[in-house]
Structure 1
Amino acid sequence: MKKLVIVGCGRLAGIVADAVVKGLLPDYDLVGVYSRTASKAAHIVHKMQQHGKPCIACATLEELLALKPDYLVESASPAAMRELALPALRNGTSVITLSIGALADETFYQEVAETAKANGTRIYIASGATGGFDVLRTASLMGNTTARFFNEKGPNGLKGTPVYDDSLQTEQRTVFSGSAAEAIRLFPTKVNVTVAASRASVGPENMQVSIQSTPGFVGDTQKVEIKNDQVHAVVDIYSATSDIAGWSVVSTLINIASPIVF
């Protein structure tokens, strides 16, 4: 059995914990969780213990890594990913991350790659609310490739960001156009999927991103388009909630342990 821990104990972490309880991840023991909100960590621990599965809430990242986990699921934030990635990799712990936005920074990306290689560990980029990483990578390897990303959100999904104003509640508008690297700087928790798609293809500086706000729209549309001289592929996904991101972590964990990998 592989030891599994989670950093960030919100809704998406709950999906992973439920998958363990339901037997969808039979190769893993969820042994510890860490959250800056202690009550959220306690909730997951209680759920696991109700089903006879030992799990502890750790007070610090250091305490969590002292459990010597094989895999760490990060479902917190890009800031948390920047804090935990290198210590985890040096600890012999591979990381499955949803906060891919942290990897838009080229210096940090290279440091993560070098640290993982030196310690025999890996970073697994979960697909989150998008997908098609296989065809994106394949098309980009063929050369002469361009890629762009379209994201549609409701105005409430943009509250708390620099682009929000009340007129978005009645007016459809393109609120951002630029590169994935620029997008993640402006929306550090809103567009992680653009960085994931760019890392699978043309890179954060070359992936062109547009974000549209539509009044009354609920959920997210993520559409990534890639072209070269021989291939034109479009991956277009609508999700009403963020649950698909949590399930993408479950899928990644199954792939890691499976003799047949999709």
Structure 2
Amino acid sequence: LFAMAPDIEDKGTLTSAVLPSIEFAIDEFRFAQAPRPTLKDIHLTLSAGQTLGIVGHTGAGKSTLINLLVRMAEQEGAQIRIGGHPVANFSLANLRAHIATVPQTPFLFSATIAENIALARPEASQADIEAVAQIAQIHDDIVRFSDGYQTAVGERGVTLSGGQKQRLAIARALLQDAPILILDDALSAVDVKTEQSILNHLRVARRGRTTLIVCHRLSAVATAEQIVVLSQGEIVEQGDHLTLLAQRGWYRKMFDYQQLELAVEEGR
């Protein structure tokens, strides 16, 4: 396993920090032997400090788009720039330093809660750890444990709920303080009230930094400056929340359905 050569070669020479603006110029991305492109004709620009919402049905190409940004995949016809520089020009260490990703199912290690949060910055102070836990709305849960931040977490976080795992992973990403934050369906296990509280705190704490939110629950992207709806690997709707509601397409139908679902759950 250690002898395997990575598919992505680390030949980039850019090691300096750049502005977290992002430009997607994807004519086509196709996996080997695939009968059709996974992504096609995706061209959009995100200014530094903006939030981009990426939504669409399962299999629409959302995860592939993120994998191209973090350079887990690449292809000649799929170009992405950060701060005006192609991602291939970054050293992989520098690219990873620019981007913090929170996946839907985060991996937690058999260590204390504090150590799990401080994974990327083991030298972080207790005050720094608690500050990001406050933003991620997990601090109150932690202090209710008998050992607080020194509570041992079982392998893969088996002792925590799904929502607690996700919020710990968000705190971990925030402590990294990367210019670009990707939330890849990372709020799916928390309720809408907690989701909105986290997002409100993120907007304040990450002012000037760029955020990408991939989600199925559309309330998570309602305040994003840009939202794209993917279908079969293509952008079929684009705009902010109010613009997309007015278009009365997939976004409006899904939003209305989710609002009705929420009302039923709350007994309204």
Shared fold (TM-score, shorter chain, > 0.5): no
Larger relative contact order (Cα-Cα within 8 Å, sequence gap ≥ 6): 2
Q: TM-score, normalised by structure 1?
A: 0.29
Q: TM-score, normalised by structure 2?
A: 0.29
